[in-house]
Structure 1
Amino acid sequence: MNTQENNLRFSRRNFLRTSALASGGLLVGFNLFTACKSEAKPPVDIANLNFNDFNAFIQIADNGYVSIFSPNPEIGQGVKTSMPMIIAEELDVEWDKVNVVQAKYNKKEYTRQVAGGSQSIRFGWDALRQTGATTKQMLINAAAVKWGVDASTCKASKGIITNEKGETLGYGDVVKEAASLEVPENVKLKKPSEYTIIGKDAINVDLKNIVTGKPLFGLDYKAEGMSYVSVLRPPAFGQTLVSFDDTETKKVTGVTQVVKFGDKVAVLGTNTWAAMKGKKALKAEWSSNKDLENTEDHNRILNGILDGKDFEVRRNDGNVASAFKAADKVIERTYHSPFLPHNCLEPMNFYADVTSERVHLVGPIQTPQWTAGRIAKLLNREENEIELEMTRMGGGFGRRLYGDFALEAAEISNLSKKPVKVVFSREDDMTDGIYRPAIKYRIAASIKDGKITGYHLKEAAVNGNMYDLIPNFFPAGCIPNYKVSTKNYQSKITTGAWRAPYTNFLAYAEQSFFDEIAEELGIDPLQLRIDLLQNVKNTTDEKIEYSGQRMENTIKLVEEKSNWKEQKEGVYKGFAAYYSHNTHVAEVAEIEMKDGLPVVKKVVAAVDCGIVVNPTGAINQIQGGVLDGIGHAMYGDFSFKNGKPSKKNFDTYRLIRMNETPQVEVHFVQNELSPTGLGEPGLPPAGGAVANAIYKAMNSRLYSQPFVKELEENKTEVRG
């Protein structure tokens, strides 16, 4: 069983490089994910630094200030702050003397420059600490040489090295000497009790620039001679372009060029307004496909899949059929979820300048390496000709994993022979997206002598859900006869990862189902989960992803902090717990009735993510995930008719509103285990906790998202 202690292996020689600077400083290169190529060499002189040669390093200036270049994309998850905090902790410098800089993409030195899966801190933890500690020891050794004493008699703190005589040297005083010394082999890492930066609140390093409107995001980027581009895409999934007329488009002031590529037409202009207005003036004829898809058809097909056979079995413990046959009772329920768009605050955008010498790309992207490789293939160029700069992202949630917008920019620049910036409107963003797939789950459980003896989860999904880990999450290992089966329907509608993939809807379905079983058995819902977890706490099954003990600890913490057993008149509590992206989370939602309507007033969350690096950032991540989970579970509804999305903008697509957001109280399980991710794990339990609370408030079980739609269909209104 994976208990998430994350003792990741790495080689000191593979991630650490040093070099003297002409200015008298020290340059230390490191790989955040233990993936630095052994042949990578840092530049000798910071003045002539070329990020294409080396893009992840610490720079220590002779005045003692430290610059840390972060190679991973910043998507709002806070890694640009928390990862440098880990280095600064072991380096033993004051946080206010650290400058953090976003580096460019560079395949030569890195194999995992990705923002996704809540994995950055987990994978970087050991290498980052080792880098900081090794650099600190090199500086101590240099000071010892300068003093003519044994390094073991010296110590460092807050950027100052002290010997037994009380003499001191700043880091900046010895950087030149340190660069000439060998890298020490075995350095001592701090104990958690010695931390002065990790575990303390730190303000996001980009906060000042964000609130003062400094250019950080892709939409902010400008280049001389750049054209803005708006793209006309097929109005329905499954349609193709037959012909187009750009006569009226070319009359629009500011439109400079019209370019066809594939089934799309790009309008170039001197500003976004001209390009978008020009696109609206285009007249296009599209193929009349009689087989365009509808949500009604999807529902029918997915129900047919659940009623049929020929599933792919993902896990099969014991004999579910025998358990069901021998049961006193079998409970079966079906849960439904719609497609969902991502709706990032910053719509998709990307800059590209394709010339004979290079392909220069700038913009917000979660997968720079994959995107650069695809663009190289598209343009028939060598990958070393691709120069990609990453901007801060105004939200991603999985949408910016795919880079289709970056490929568009590169192709348009290549055809137009101009530097261009593709900018999606909100309508473009919502109607030409990569959506969370529509999914249906059918869950059945057998009960014998007051115990759950069998469990069968069946999934039917449009294009297939990301089900690699579903079979090995809770309740795998808890129930002796356990089976997970999946089957999908192939659609022309593009689908992909959406925040907390494969668990964002499954957690609600399973946690609602377990509450229903608890009621059937007459057991407290929390106690039912704790009883089940006893069966997996000592498992030797390496496939099981979660920790029974850590999940139990998390449940007990939320039970305490939410005063679960306290009954307050007019307050209805719902519980859910889930493990995703290596983190255990339990949540209790509180519902009150107002004017006959249920209102979500408060959510208490307990989280086991190991050591918390930046408490402020960690709390924000959980709060954001909970609110996102509640908002989409309550209101998120998206459908298709004749291949076209039913909603194009926020006037018809319902999101949670400011006055509907409940208080979210966050508590962390205290331990000294290696940290795990927080960007996604807070979302999955939220929908289940709210659904279970609504049941207690209204005596109405919910089997479909969005909840408000199901309640309205039952002639009951709700607000969150």
Structure 2
Amino acid sequence: MSRLGMVSRRAVLVGAGAVAGGLVVGVYFFERFRVNARLKDGLDKGQLMLTPYVRIGEDGVTIITPRADLGQGAYSVQAALVAEELDIAWSDIKVDPGAPSSVYYNGKVLKEGLPIAATSVLLGPVAEAISQAGGKFLSLQWTGGSSTVADAYDRLRIAGATARELLLRAAAKQTGIARADLKTRDGAVIAPNGRALSYASLAEIAATLEVPADVKLRERKDWRYLGKSMPRLDMVAKCTGTATFGIDIRLPGMVYATVCTNPHLGGTLRSYDASRAAKARGVLKIVPVKGGVGIIADNTWRAFQAAKLIGFDWGEASYPASSAAMFEEVRASFIPERRDSRCKDDGDVDAALAGAKVIEAEYCVPYLAHAPLEPMNAVVQLKDGRLDIWTGTQAPVFLVKMARKLTGLAAEDIHLHALPSGGSFGRRLENDYVRQGVELAMAYQGRPIKMTWTREEDMTHDFPRPLAVARMRGAVKDGKLDACDLAIAAPSVTSSQFGRLGLHMPGPDMAIVAGAWDQPFRIPNYRVTGYRVPELVRVSSWRSVGASGNAFLHECCLDELIQIAGADPLHERLRLCSHAPSRRVLDEVRRMSCWDSKPGPGRARGLAFTLSFGVPVAEVIEVEKINDAIRIARVFVAAEVGVVLDPDNLKNQVEGAVVWALGHAMNAELTFANGRAVQTNYHEYEGMRLYQAPEIEVVALETTGETGIRGIGEPAVPPAAPALANAIFAATGIRARQLPLIKTEGIRFV
């Protein structure tokens, strides 16, 4: 066993170990990593794992990629960060999501929830330190908040560079050739005479060496993979239909199941009659689960059909029965007792409004479902005191904690096999669906059980994006925006979501005002207040979380005030903007869209800007009036991400985010009647259709020193809805103050 020691000035520690030709090397922050049974999952017999990110054995190099792949290419980017420094061929890379472990904690994801603006130079390091310490303390192995790249950028490159250095020193020891005369290429150390020594052949010696106190990372000019468009590691499998998602798992002796739980979310199950279902063809067992019933059968279809035969007497939900009643509860929350935060309070808003003609408006956004293409599912087997779970998850450590509490098993007897997910958008941060699978496995031990939700169960038992209402008061002066007082009321995502994990997060919930309070505009009198609505429907993170709705509330209010002032929407924002990277994206989108020229007959443009997850994004949408309808013609997106690690993947993520956001802005809402969700499938929850998809042009700016390394999976979502609404106003004069836009009279899309 090698001695663990300091690796870099960043206080990153690394270890290495080997048995029978296996070597594992990794990095982590703050303290030495202690091996536990969880991290040994998946290792071949005889291998010893001391550190978590790089495994080298007789089968070659395996890179541990602990952040979940939900279609955003997370496995590929994590692999590229290691491979760049380790010097292995792209075609030889194998990835493994690894076992759940606190060593994989996310040190960046909590930053967005702190009352410290991303533009704060003084408090930025404080936010970084709090986020790192909080992520470590909570064992927050969490995929979300567009934090994968930011969190992995240093530690995975150092992991690769450290492994490479150990292998070079091992080669020097074995051959007697000076370390300086050796090079590496594609998984081998190359001697001056051209002889290649594979990494696998050097692993055992490398494990005996002292870990280097520091390693040198490649300069950007020498990058082979990073900064270039690389074929994603999962692309062939996805294109050929051979990719294995959770829903694709097949195991010997497998049985199949589904569940029915109370559609009045959180309500009880008073009684049920499963006598007809128990006699249905293929049914093996009817099992009570929390809030409902599970049906185990010899195939999924028969489980689905049997579920329809069960009669239920459901208890009522505790929240108001209709969406209209819920919105009234939100509107009733603009009171001092429910004030949650006021982190933006510049100038003297009350005085400015007292002496001016006040412009007032109310905006609102609805609940939104996650609605991933792959419905919730898990394969679970409890046999001989061992629990195995195959599923996609964004929070594996918390999932294992849930299973441990439910079963009473020790942590080392619970084995999670993390799989790629067919979409999530935040839904797989929850573990309710896995809990049901575990409950079924406890009642039907020995055989693997594949539990799959129907689409209807998935839609009606979501943890949606919260509804929200904003009240704006503002004033203009001398053709400029002078005062803006924005109050936003919404339920707390943080208390709802973390509460289900048994965690209490102190202080205000910044998600209530995210994408509004922290925008880089120096309006002379500028106030943003958040009001916490008592929980109605249980809510959770949805792609871009609080900023997803607040960008519409903030940017449409801002646009309305600027239009009343008679100012240009883009140039007034530029005048007010106090953040250099944000100014650059505004100026870039001005250039891209030819903003200062006329768009042509029947066309108009709208702009929105949002700084979220540390990434400033500006979007211009050009619409065309066709008779009495609107067609979205073109979308221009400028973003500042620090460093672009894969140009094609960045472009794909931005395009996907825009289409996702526009489809929801046009058509989608999750409504409630009689205490249950109304929308049960995609025919009632319609996204953007292929023929409606616009041309999308994307430009990513890079100024690392000012913004750091950032992700792009979510930041392009928030500006899309307000940019479209503002474009519709420019084209028609109709000011839409609610989503979806089709609810506003006079707005129709083709």
Given the two structures, how large is their TM-score scaled by the length of structure 2?
0.85
* 2:587 match: 556
Residue equivalent to 1:517: 561
Q: Map 1:191-202 onto structure 2 (within 5 A).
A: 191-202=219-230
Q: 2:202 & 2:401 partners in 1: Cα distance?
A: 42
For the pair 1:604 / 2:653, whether they are aligned, the reply is: no
1:398-443 deviation digits (Å, cap 9, x = unpaired)? 1111110111111222133354222111100011111111111112
1:428 and 2:450 correspond: no
Deviation, structure 1 residue 586: 1.1
| Matched-pair contact (CA < 8 Å) for 1:20–1:44 | no
Task: Give the gaps of 5 or more residues in structure 2.
Answer: 1-7, 106-138, 496-508
Name the structure 2 match of 1:11. Answer: 11
Write the distance in 2 (CA, Å) between the matches of 1:495 and 1:36.
Answer: 35
| Residue aligned with 1:83, SS | helix
Task: Report Cα offsets for 1:169-204 as digits up to 9, x if no partner.
Answer: 444364444333222222211222221210111122
Partner of 2:78: 83
Opposite residue 429 of structure 1, the aligned amino acid is D
Aligned to 1:343: 371
Does residue 322 of structure 2 align to residue 280 of structure 1?
no
Deviation readout 1:39-74 (Å, 9 max, x if unpaired): 2388799631679x66833234579x5321222221
Structure 1 distance, partners of 2:186, 2:606, is 47
Deviation at 1:480, TM superposition (A): 4.7
State the match for 1:576 in structure 2: 608
Indicate how the Cα distance of structure 1 residues 168 and 456 shifts in structure 2: closer, same or farther if over 3 A, else same: farther
Between the aligned partners of 1:584 and 1:246, the Cα distance in structure 2 is: 54
Matching residue within 61, 66, 88 for 2:61:
66
| Superposed CA offset, 1:263-314 (max 9, x none) | 3111111111111111100112234679751111122222333478752333
| Alignment partners' CA distance in 1, 2:244 and 2:631 | 37
State the superposition RMSD in angstroms: 2.9
Match of 1:468 in 2: 510
Listed one character per residue, the Cα deviations across residues 329-379 of structure 1 (whole Å, up to 9, x for unaligned) are 332221111111111000001122234522221111111111211222223
> 1-side partners of 2:440 and 2:220: how far apart?
52
Counterpart CA distance in 1 for 2:586 and 2:361 is: 25
Say yes or no: does 1:678 pair with 2:712: yes
- The equivalent of 2:165 in structure 1 is 137
Corresponding residue of 1:4: none
Structure 2 match to 1:48: 45
Of 198-207 and 230-239, deviating more is 230-239
> Residues 539-578 of structure 1: CA distance to partner in whole angstroms, max 9, x if unpaired?
xxxxxxxxx1111111112112222212231331111111
Aligned to 1:20: 18
Per-residue deviation, 1:682: 1.0
Aligned to 2:5: none
Question: Counterparts of 1:311-326 in structure 2 under 5 Å?
Answer: 311-318=339-346, 320-326=348-354
Describe the SS at the equivalent of 1:604. Answer: strand
1:703 CA drift (Å): 0.5
Q: 1:706 aligns with which of 740, 744, 747?
A: 740
* Alpha-carbon distance, 1:717 to partner: 4.3
CA distance in 1, matches of 2:221, 2:319: 64
Structure 2 residue aligned with 1:632, among 664, 682, 697?
A: 664
Would you say the 8 A contact 2:437–2:449 is kept in 1?
yes
Task: Single out whichever of 197-206 and 518-527 deviates more from structure 2.
Answer: 518-527
Which of 415, 424, 428 matches 1:387?
415
What amino acid sits opposite 1:58 in the alignment?
Answer: V
Change (3 A) 1:232 1:454: same
Aligned position for 2:89: 94
CA distance in 2, matches of 1:487, 1:142: 60
The residue that corresponds to 2:504 in the other structure is none
CA distance in structure 2 between the partners assigned to 1:560 and 1:124 by the alignment: 33
Distance in 1, matches of 2:267 and 2:645, equals 49
Contact 1:37 1:109 in 2 (8 A): no
User: Which of the residues 141, 164, 175 maps onto 1:113?
Assistant: 141
Cα 1:135–1:309, aligned 2, differ >3 Å: closer, same or farther? closer
1:298 to 326, 329, 335: 326
Separation in 2 of the partners of 1:237 and 1:114?
25
Distance across 1 between alignment mates of 2:482 and 2:30? 45
Structure 2 Cα separation of the partners of residues 410 and 393 of structure 1 = 19
Please identify, of 450-459 and 192-201, the stretch whose mean Cα deviation from structure 2 is larger. 450-459
8 Å contact from structure 1 (residues 69, 103) kept in 2: yes
Inter-partner Cα distance in structure 2 for 1:549 and 1:650 = 42
Find 2:394's aligned residue among 366, 369, 375: 366
* 3-state SS in 2 of match to 1:485: strand
Q: Indicate the SS of the match to 2:150.
A: helix
The answer (yes or no) to whether the contact 1:591–1:693 under 8 Å persists in 2 is yes
Provide Cα deviations, 1:2-33, integer angstroms capped at 9, x if missing partner.
xxxxxx984343xx22233524xx523214x6
SS at match of 1:684: coil
Name the CA distance, whole Å, in 2 between partners of 1:432 and 1:622. 28
Mark the CA change 1:342 to 1:290 in structure 2 (over 3 Å): closer, same or farther.
Answer: closer
SS of the residue 1:268 aligns to: strand
In structure 1, the residue corresponding to 2:466 is in which secondary structure? coil
Change in 2 beyond 3 A, CA 1:612/1:94:
same
Q: Which whole-Å CA distance do the structure 2 matches of 1:609 and 1:417 have between them?
A: 49
Question: Residues 129-163 of structure 1, C-alpha deviation per residue, up to 9 Å, x if partnerless?
Answer: 11112222223333444554543454445556556
5 Å-filtered alignment, 1:438-517, equals 438-462=467-491, 467-468=509-510, 470=513, 473-475=517-519, 478-517=522-561
CA distance in 2, matches of 1:185, 1:289: 59
The residue type equivalent to 2:358 in the other structure is V
Change (3 A) 1:398 1:291: closer
One-letter amino acid of the counterpart of residue 468, structure 1: M
Q: Percent identity?
A: 28
| Contact persistence 1:249–1:279 (CA under 8 A) | yes
Alpha carbons 1:17, 1:30 under 8 Å: kept: yes
1:12 to 1:239, Cα distance in 2 relative to 1, 3 A: closer
> 1:380 offset after TM fit, Å?
3.2
Alignment deviations for residues 524-548 of structure 1 (CA, whole Å, 9 cap, x no partner): 22222222223xxxxxxxxxxxxx1
| 1:663 and 2:660 matched | no
Tell me how far apart the structure 2 counterparts of residues 281 and 35 of structure 1 sit (CA, whole Å).
56
Where 1:688 maps in the other structure, the secondary structure is helix
Q: 2:722, 2:84 → 1: CA distance?
A: 38
Identify if the C-alpha distance between structure 1 residues 255 and 106 changes in structure 2 by more than 3 Å, giving closer, same or farther: same
Moved more, 35-44 or 660-669: 35-44
* Contact preservation (8 Å) 1:238, 1:492: no
Task: Check 1:504–1:316 CA distance in 2 against 1; reply closer, same or farther (3 A cut).
Answer: closer
- Per-residue deviation, 1:118: 1.0
Residue 588 of structure 1 is matched in structure 2 by: 620
More deviation, 84-93/564-573? 564-573
Q: Which residue of 2 aligns with 1:249?
A: 277
* d(CA) in 2 for partners of 1:288, 1:105: 37
Aligned residues of 2:372 and 2:423 also touching (Cα < 8 A): yes
Greater CA deviation, 86-95 or 404-413? 86-95
Please name the residue that 1:691 is paired with. 725
Distance 1:566 1:77, change over 3 A: same
Alignment partners' CA distance in 1, 2:238 and 2:213: 41
CA gap 1:653/1:132 in 2 versus in 1, 3 angstroms? same
| Paired letter, 1:604 | F
Q: Say if 2:686 is the partner of 1:654.
A: yes
Query: 2:552·2:721 contact (CA, 8 Å) conserved in 1?
Result: yes
Aligned to 1:216, what secondary structure does the other structure show?
coil
Q: CA deviation at 1:121?
A: 1.0
